Amino acid sequence: MIEHRSIAGQPLQWNVELRDIAHRSSLLYELVHRDLTVRYKRSFLGFFWTMLHPLLLMLIFLIVFSALFQTRTPHYETYFLSAYVAWNFFAQTIVNGMAGIAWNGPLMKRVRVPLSVFTVASTVSGLVNLALSLVVLFAIMAITGVPLRPALLFLPVSLTIVWIFTLGISLGLTAVSIFFGDIREMVQAGLPALMYLTPIIYPISVVPERFRWMIKLNPLVYLVEIVRDPIYYAIIPARMTLLIAVVTSLGSLIIGWMIFRYLAPRFHAHL
């Protein structure tokens, strides 16, 4: 028989939280299902928007960079998209996680559920969208003649690392934004800047050598790189890059969870 204790002043326990989420796997499934269906329910093209979105963006960047800036990067579309899908997963997921508070807040107060399940669900929905974007990307690669190489088999590892990183950031930001609504606006405003500070649309080599160390302080540089490497360069990422990516993503998960577990018991007063 499951015994459940809620004790004043006690933060969430990760093992209890995991047990409750695993125990109620149908809840996670239903939340993801709802995220994915409700979003497109009223649109004619529905799910295809998930695929059209990166296509349209790719066209814009392709025109801007190949035609206007005359980039030297071969197969620029694959170069750009292989990093952009990872970035887009990260950015969309943390925004959706915070936006979900308006949606899920009433549930958090009225239904007995592990509180982190909503954030976990939004990252899983993000992964589904990411998978669809990858299908588009692979199709484009096939059409433009970029070979699909065995290094692609490494991609699930890279995506797991990116997922862990995103989950951590999302847990922390969602928790804080329940207390301070401003956080959401700050993140929305900051994300585009962060995107241009990350070598997604341009190779890091265009940054003057003396500024490069600054760019490299951004952990997203490595997370984007470990996804781009197996797709575009058809190589397994360098050991150092992988190590930095793994350490930052674990760090993100630990810090994000710490913030979440201490703030969660007081969510109900602010929802």
Residues within the interface to another protein (CB under 8 A): 1-8, 10, 24-27, 29-31, 33-34, 37-38, 41-42, 106-113, 179-183, 265-266, 268-270
Nearer to another protein, 182 or 204 (CB): 182
Residues 28 and 125: beta-carbon distance below 8 Å? no
What token pair was written down for 38?
């409700």
H-type alpha helices, 145-206: 155-179, 182-197
Q: How far is the CB of 190 from another protein (least distance, A)?
A: 14
Q: How far is the CB of 214 from another protein (least distance, A)?
A: 27
**Helix 25-40 vs helix 117-144: crossing angle, to nearest 10:** 60
Nearer to another protein, 8 or 217 (CB): 8
Nearer to another protein, 86 or 108 (CB): 108
Closest C-alpha among 102, 93, 99 to residue 120:
93
Nearer to another protein, 119 or 248 (CB): 119
Q: How far is the CB of 92 from another protein (least distance, A)?
A: 20
Instruction: Compute φ and ψ for 111, nearest 5 degrees.
Output: -125, 145
Q: How far is the CB of 107 from another protein (least distance, A)?
A: 5
Q: Mind giving me the DSSP string for 26-93? A: HHHHHHHHHHHHHHHTT-SSTTHHHHHHHHHHHHHHHIIIIIIS----TTHHHHHHHHHHHHHHHHHH
Residues 87 and 220: beta-carbon distance below 8 Å? yes
**Helix 117-144 vs helix 48-62: crossing angle, to nearest 10:** 60
Q: How far is the CB of 113 from another protein (least distance, A)?
A: 7
Q: How far is the CB of 121 from another protein (least distance, A)?
A: 11
Q: How far is the CB of 100 from another protein (least distance, A)?
A: 13
Nearer to another protein, 29 or 196 (CB): 29
Nearer to another protein, 110 or 239 (CB): 110
Q: How far is the CB of 188 from another protein (least distance, A)?
A: 15
H or E segment to which residue 239 belongs: helix 239-263
Nearer to another protein, 5 or 210 (CB): 5
Nearer to another protein, 6 or 15 (CB): 6
268 secondary structure, DSSP code: G
What sign has the CA pseudo-torsion 216, 217, 222, 225? negative
Residues 158 and 69: beta-carbon distance below 8 Å? no
